Amino acid sequence: MSRFAQVWRTSTVRLTATFIAIFIIFAILLMAFIGWQSSVQIQRQQADDIDREIRQFQRIEAMQGIRALAFAVNRLSSQPGPGIYYLGDASGLYLLGNVTDVPVEVVINPGVYSFDYERPNPLGDGPGDDLRPPRQREGVAVVRSVELANGMRLVVGRDVVERRGYSAIILQSFLVGVVGIILFSLIAGGITARRVLKRIDTIQQTSSKIMSGNLSERVPVTRRNDEFDQVAINLNAMLDRIEQLLQGLKEVTDNVAHDLKTPLTRLRNQAEGALRDTASVEDREKALEAVIVESDRLIKTFNALLMIARAEAGAPSGALSDINVSDIVADVAELYGPVAEDEGIAVETRIEPNVMLKANRELVGQAMVNLLENAVKYAKPDGDTPGKISVELRRDAGQVTICVADNGPGIPEADRRRVLERFVRLEKSRSEPGSGLGLSLVNAVAGLHGGTLSIEDNQPGVKAVIVLPAA
């Protein structure tokens, strides 16, 4: 009983039961209407037959006389069937017909009547019954009584027992049909509810496994491609994203713990060294300066992490506005021009003017700063080859492309996706200062604006390409 109550509380079962009830009600009403119309049509047909025969008798009496009328009544009365015929004189006394006990008021007063009657069965009861007196046949008649032109009384009607038998058959068929419809609807509704509940139970079981800690579970998807499959596909996409974020959070936590342990240890050692009694004033000043430098590096790392988290979380309401990307890219390139010249690196720019974009000015500027810092860091001259950085901004059909390229040592193809992750630093860059968060921030900024960041081969060097949608 508790299982039934639990199933009944589900919306699927209640909606199915509602539709079944509506279907049954309309089916019953439709069948009742058909049965009622059939019975009415039979009654109308019988009334039309009675009126037609009366008109024929009146025509025979008017054109051929009493003898022809009597012959016609006698001929129809002797035939088997539901016909009721009675011919009486002017006073209503019986002359001809297959019914003799017609009520007096029916004979005297013309009109439509219904009454019980008895008449002999001319066929008997079986073989040899013609030697016996015919048995009386009981029935119910619907008749019409008229007075002929010569004053004689004529009663014509039909036995309605057969009609009522047919109505009983219609009623019986109606009841059987109603029972069949109810059973069929219950079976169909039960099968439908079972299938729907089975799909819902599958989603619930998957959710329970995920909540228990198994993040790799996914909702099964069938080949029917129905609405449940669409829900399952969306849920699986959401679960993939959640698993990816949790995995990224775990990696970030591990990387933060690993990469910050060394600078924090250096901070502690330098502070401890400055507190020694044997340390001179000059040593203490150098230790404090080193502590400040390490603290700045840590603050910069945490600021980068916060900015990445902000970008991946999405821009708050009102953070995006129409900006001139050409001015931002030109300003950052101009800012890093002298720094690159000090390192012997030439900076070339090909910036299309007045490129407008709906974006966050601060984040786009920070992304350009990170790209140019990396370019300056890794595009240092190698032997007789001068360093070179090119900055390009162009607007194509429906998108804005920002490209920062250098002619440094480059990045192997196998590592071009990995360098976009947090705290990833290749072996060649271990000797360079940094935290491994620069490209991660650029990738997060591109994703925030609905764009992409790709690392390509510049032959030689690296080309970082940001593609942002113009609208």
319 burial (CB, 10 Å; 0-12 / 13-18 / 19+) is: middle
- Please check whether residue 60 is in contact with residue 150, taking contact to mean a CB–CB distance below 8 angstroms: no
Q: What one-letter code names the amino acid at 230?
A: Q
The listed range with the strongest mean pLDDT (172-176, 189-193, 194-198, 218-222) is 218-222
Q: What is the pTM of this model?
A: 0.47
Task: Tell me how far apart the alpha carbons of residues 355 and 333 are, in angstroms, rounded to a whole number.
Answer: 16
The pLDDT of residue 135 is 46
On the question of pLDDT at 1 being above 50, the answer is no
The span from the first CA to the last CA of the chain, in angstroms, equals: 59
Banded pLDDT at 425 (limits 50, 70, 90)? low
Helical (H) or strand (E) element with 350: strand 345-351
Banded pLDDT at 109 (limits 50, 70, 90)? confident
Kindly report the length of the chain: 471
Look up residue 164 and give its DSSP letter: H
Task: Tell me how far apart the alpha carbons of residues 51 and 364 are, in angstroms, rounded to a whole number.
Answer: 98
Report phi then psi at 317, rounded to 5. Answer: -60, 130
Banded pLDDT at 392 (limits 50, 70, 90)? very high
On the question of pLDDT at 430 being above 50, the answer is no
Task: Tell me how far apart the alpha carbons of residues 401 and 467 are, in angstroms, rounded to a whole number.
Answer: 5
The pLDDT of residue 327 is 92
Task: Tell me how far apart the alpha carbons of residues 403 and 380 are, in angstroms, rounded to a whole number.
Answer: 19
Q: Does domain 65-159 match CATH 2.40.128.630?
A: no
Mean pLDDT of 175-202: 77
- Please check whether residue 16 is in contact with residue 197, taking contact to mean a CB–CB distance below 8 angstroms: no
What CATH number should be reported for the domain whose range is 229-313? 1.10.287.130
Residue whose entry in the numeric block shows the structure tokens 């998957």? 206
Q: Parse the chain into domains and list their residue ranges.
A: 65-159, 229-313, 321-469
Lowest mean pLDDT among 120-134, 368-382, 429-443, 450-464: 120-134
Question: Sheet holding 345-351: strands in order across?
Answer: 345-351, 387-396, 399-406, 462-469, 452-457
- Please check whether residue 357 is in contact with residue 470, taking contact to mean a CB–CB distance below 8 angstroms: yes
Ramachandran class of 295: left when φ > 0, alpha when ψ lies in -120 to 50, beta otherwise: alpha
- Among residues 139, 153, 158, the alpha carbon closest in space to that of 50 is found at 158
Banded pLDDT at 403 (limits 50, 70, 90)? very high
Q: What is the pLDDT of residues 281-328, one digit of tens each?
A: 777 777 788 788 778 777 776 776 666 666 666 655 456 788 899 999
Question: Domain 321-469's class?
Answer: alpha beta
Mean pLDDT of 145-151: 86
For the chain, give the mean pLDDT. 78
On the question of pLDDT at 455 being above 90, the answer is no
